Each structure stands twice: as structure tokens, then as C-alpha cells.
Amino acid sequence: MKEYETNGQIDQFQTLVDIVARLRAPGGCPWDREQTHQSLKRNLLEEAHEALEAIDAGDPGVLSEELGDLLVQIAFHADIAQEAGRFDIGGVIERINRKLIRRHPHVFAGETVADAREVERNWERIKAAERNAAGTPKSPVDGIPASLPALAASQLMQDRVARAGFEWDDVSGVLDKVAEEIEEFRQANTPDERVHELGDIFFALVNLSRWADAHAEDVLRQANARFAARYRAMEQLAAQRNLDFQALPLPEKEELWQEAKRLLNA
């Protein structure tokens, strides 16, 4: 099979754009030609999550591949939009380049900043000015995508209001809030009240993640992976000893759990 001719430019972004255009052109790939913004939503989300998994795994080769898959999604959406006469990949790149330059005056316009926190505050100030200039003033809690996972949406919201000045002075206030919400859950009398207070606990824990410079979504995803690995190890230990894992009393399962933790941390 003759390889597609790229004129030696296989490592260039424009080559990717050209390949996608060829795939979606008459005589190209039937599947690619029938895709729309809507039909590719799932693919975009899946590729983003696969890139996150590669980051968590610490595998640069896999991450490089997954970032490429994300670039394909961008090129596809731009080609679909160009076919409809709405915008093209050049417009996408121009808009983000202008935005990056505009929102980094400390790099491109000679302004000075004290630290990364001031950069974040300036970013929000510039965004607010852009919205006002466009006649669309918004609250920091507006414009958060409804499709974001709840933990990620909560952290984004809390990041925004913190940059707008609604923030604890130090982490002790956050820890006190977590303890307060847990106590309110203990005192809840009805199922509805317990659900309400449980939501407040999650929200406070997301804030604690912020203060730990961690992403709540990543924290929980990694905790899920640790739990799954330890649980499998427990099952394997029980099988090696001819034990019926499910029938074991809880204290013996706890012993297996601690043993699994030691094995996996060794």
C-alpha cells in the first residue's frame, strides 16, 4: 500500500489539517464525512480522559499519542465548521493566540506581577473587562459548562470566586468548614437533610483540594485506582489461601486490606 505523500512534513500541524480535510473531502472516508460537532462530542470527551490517564500513569509515550488524538478532534471540528462557512483552523489559532497575548500583559506588555496568584487575579480582571466590552457582564459563577463532572465544576467555581476575592485567609478556615459540615450531617434528621449536608461536605472537601494545590477530580480518580488495586490484591490473597473472600468476617477482610496495602506500597 502506497503511503500518503506528506512531502517530508509529517511532523507539521498543517499536515494533520490537510489529512483531516482529505478524509472529509468527496472520495474520502465515508465515516469521517458524516461526522458532526454533535456526533464527535463523545470522542472529544473520551480522548481528554485518555490523556488524563496517561498523565496519571506518567507515561510520556502514551501521553504524546493521546495529545495527538486530541489534536485530531480539534482539526475535525475546525474542518466541519469550515465546510459550513463558520470558521476555520486559522481562526481558531488566531483567537487563542490573541487571547493568550491579551491575558498575559506581564509577559507581552511590560506589566509586572508579584507572583502566580496575582497572575490569576489579573486573568479574571481581564476576562471581566472583555465581557463588559462585549456587553455581556457575568458573575464568576456563570459560564461553567454544565457537562463538567461535578467535582471539576465545583473546583472551577471556587477558583473563580477566590480570584474575585471570596476566599479564606488560610487553610484553617477550610478545615473548620469541613468539620462544621460533617457535624451538620451528623445532626441531620431526614434523608433530604442528609443529602443536602452531604453535598456541602463534598463542596468543602473540593475547597480543601484547592488549598492542597490538587485537583479534586484527579484526587478522587487516583483514590479509585488505589482502592481497585488493593481490592484485587485482597481477592488474590484470599484465593491463594483457599479462603472464600465474600464469606470472611469483616475483621479478617480488614487484615487482608492492610496486608494488600503493605504489598502494594512495598
pLDDT tens digits, one per residue of 238-260: 999 999 999 999 999 999 999 99
- pTM for the complete prediction? 0.69
| pLDDT number for residue 134 | 77
CB atoms within 10 A of CB 75: 21
Which of the listed residues 102, 134, 153 is the one where a domain comes to its end?
A: 102
Written as nine digits, the cell of 176 is 473548620
Q: What are phi and psi of 58, to 5 degrees?
A: 70, 30
- Whether residue 205 lies inside any domain: the answer is no
The Cα 115–Cα 113 span in angstroms is 6
- Whether residue 51 lies inside any domain: the answer is yes
- Whether residue 251 lies inside any domain: the answer is yes
Written as nine digits, the cell of 213 is 494545590
- Whether residue 23 lies inside any domain: the answer is yes
| pLDDT number for residue 216 | 95
N- to C-terminal Cα distance for the chain? 50
| pLDDT number for residue 4 | 67
Which of the listed residues 102, 123, 153 is the one where a domain comes to its end?
A: 102
Residue type, 70: L
| pLDDT number for residue 3 | 67
Encode 213-222: b = buried (16+ Cβ within 10 Å), e = exposed: eebbbbbbbe
Q: Are residues 106 and 82 in contact, defined by beta-carbon separation less than 8 angstroms?
A: no
Query: Which regions in the chain score pLDDT beneath 70?
Result: 1-4, 137, 266
Which of the listed residues 76, 102, 128 is the one where a domain comes to its end?
A: 102
If one counts the domains in the chain, the total is 2
The Cα 149–Cα 167 span in angstroms is 23
At 251, which helix (H) or strand (E)?
A: helix 250-265
Q: Are residues 208 and 178 in contact, defined by beta-carbon separation less than 8 angstroms?
A: yes
Q: Is 6 helix (H, G, I), strand (E, B) or coil?
A: coil
- Whether residue 194 lies inside any domain: the answer is no
CA 46 to chain centre: 11
Range of the domain at 257: 218-265
Looking at the chain, list the stretches that DSSP marks H as alpha helix, in order from N- to C-terminal side: 13-24, 30-33, 41-57, 60-83, 89-102, 105-108, 116-133, 150-163, 171-187, 191-211, 216-240, 250-265
- Whether residue 3 lies inside any domain: the answer is no
- Whether residue 172 lies inside any domain: the answer is no
The Cα 253–Cα 266 span in angstroms is 20
CATH number at residue 38: 1.10.287.1080
| pLDDT number for residue 133 | 82
- Whether residue 173 lies inside any domain: the answer is no
The Cα 157–Cα 139 span in angstroms is 10
